[in-house]
Structure 1
């Protein structure tokens, strides 16, 4: 505590001589200094007084009975270091004075020159005041520095937060802009695709109509075979336009409440046979799954399509996982194919394959974009998934890691709470309308080899049947789903994707009354014995022997009861 105020000068005096103490007081009185002296003579008394730090000045004799002045100086520097300390002694030599000043004394006065005492006191008090002001300034400076550092740190933190927020906003804007560009690109492609499909369908209508007219007047078989080939090409074009319309969200859908858990569970055998025994299938089906409002036939084709894509992404073996879940989305879509916020029934098809590279992921939903070899894919698979999900009121999301696998999640709108999916069979559908005398039975020929298919088609066409064609098992199922008026399906056994036996299983499941006939180059027919339902009368060996194909086809058709084919599913919808 510093006593530098304008009041009486408060002095701590260490002096054992009464005479010298009176003399000091007189000198101060003569100098006009208003003062108050606390006199002590022992070490303990000096320590107790110094400890209070309540004095403006310490005056000390050098020679004392119990301890010397240097000890008193050391004690004062320890207990009240800011208080000026002046020696007043009659025996203080030059060497001792120097040592005292080095020890922290402010000054010294000999008792022979007490006239100097007022000036020494004034100078000591001035120095003490200067020291106090300097310490105050240094303290203020330290405080300013500390607060400055805190302010700088706070400002730096604020700037870092602002910079991070700005960076986040820039990234978000870039993401939104990229999503907008992608949406605009897909929308433009969708509009173009829809227009092309519409015009293409018009052309196909003209072509197919004129083929029908020509068939009535063309007499020779060679010309009829040419017309059948033209009709088959027109039908393939119609299937292509159906996929294009699916992408552009213009296909015809019949959404109904569907229990996706039943749908997925019922497809296990078909999926296993379609993707092969080397791939393990796992299903994670959420209990109490909401009913989905979706076209039951189309969602089955979508799941099958995604499963085959997943199989192709896995070189050898691997695991295919199909998952269902109730999903509540709150975030806005990050990409145009993703669904808006809301409640959805999600079905996901995941694989442990190669994953999708970022540059490919940006284009996977574009029609005709494919990374497969020529002839191995049309590039319409995921485009069809995209269009179906969007037209149904949901969306698609792809999560992928290169080298680890891909998960395609299809989000479908849920049925309103409290509404259950009906567990009733699908409505009956006439397979072939009642035929007038002379009408030709309809035969669907399914073969991935175009040249072999042409031979099969030619033989059956020359036998008098109306022919439809499909280049794969999946295309055959889609064709029957679009128009099930088929009297007989002729299936090649060895086909990529779904082989003939797998297609037959699905046909029996969906259309149990529809007959089928296998054509195969395998000598061993045991692979075709599906649940014991196929015998030699349903198998034709390649190369065809004269009349065998036509004869077995005729036998199957003649064995049918009635002129029409009633198609009733044996399982609940969904």
Structure 2
């Protein structure tokens, strides 16, 4: 004996109990679906109309029941049974609340009360009112004091009350359905990663999904009744006011702007509602913008590579020929002045070769490889690396206020770019001055690193053209490719670069996406991979590294797990998954921003691979346990 008590509410038991309950009702009941097929009925319904079992089984058609009753004479003498069946079927398909009383061929009086169902179909209740009618007839015959008019009026009121009751029931059901629809709509809008709202004709919010603060941090969430200028703040409102006025004038408007607090990129849509108000939708598209910048830079580099590869090949051959000829001339018995010309020609040709290598670096396949990077250590290594190349009179200082956590960056590319800027700043200072590297975050969106110097600053021409390839202010000593290469590095990472003059000199400012590295800890890892063999291999790697693993094969399955489990520490997901959704879709749709590492065997040229690099660390398949461990545990050489 198991010791279980109480009811075992299985589907079978529930169905049996429901059927028994319906059979105990003194009235007949039938429910048909939108196709007029029997869903359920009770025994009084069958007994009231003497129906065979086949017509009260689920799936029995309404028109077969009508035909059966018509052929039995239920509707009197009918010349054309098909016509009466068609009429009754069309009345049923109208799905309108109704009440009627019908006298059967055997003299029995039945009242029929019907109401439509929310998703089509209808329910009908049949009541035997024969005794009631007989009592009314007896009362009419025996009561000489009651006038015929009063009796007729009482009958009319009784019928009207029944119709009103049916109508009230239908209205209550419609009200319930509308309430549920409104609740579902509100829940849907509140789950969307956007602020959705409505403004009345005076610019006050009369609806909001309470997500303004997630799109624009620092703003209130409860803004009903508040004017838009108060909710957004004066600076932001000035940016949107002209577009809002256009919407009040009947013209939809979609625009983007950078928010002041942490430079988020926001896209706003204003749509007139046709009644004097405006619908508003605001979305944070910062990550989308970063991915778009990285993709645009990749396309530019591919185009530049296509344009220069043939030219560089021919130019390289020409330089090789020139160096060969000069080498032969050098072996000849030439005057000293001619030897100097030969040496100068060789030096110039070699410099041309170095320039070709720099061009190849700019247009070749440079793929960012983000790793968990200790920025404090990177900047300290940079200071040690750059200091010996500075003159005695030029100092180098580092001011780092970045959070003390690992960030996802390509440390080699970042350090090369910063070293290039430090050397440019050294040249600007001449024999004495100060070079400063400062690093800080802008909200939780950007890392900003500035390299400043105390030199003369940028000329107007340099501010305009310094990022153009081959522009230089160093004469023969410069190639004009240093700053363009730094610009290329930053753009590939989804960031931006700007030049500015300061009161004490010049400054080059880099902005890179702020992406904290996944925390390294023993915990639960969600592994999302649709290949059984690969999933088993990756699971074994993670278990060997001390993690507990749960698995999914699709983005939808993974999303369900992240909703149900609160202790997932990390997501390791393939980009291409079972179903239509990708690993990038999973990254977008996860309700909480779980640390995520993507993996793929797609080539770098695939758009999905390029976008993934701008959004999360990416492991190229095949990879080893050591490579996975190095990324998880932030081991930076």
Q: Judge same fold: TM > 0.5, yes or no.
A: no
Q: Which has the higher contact order (CA 8 A, sep 6+)?
A: 1
TM-score by length of 2: 0.30
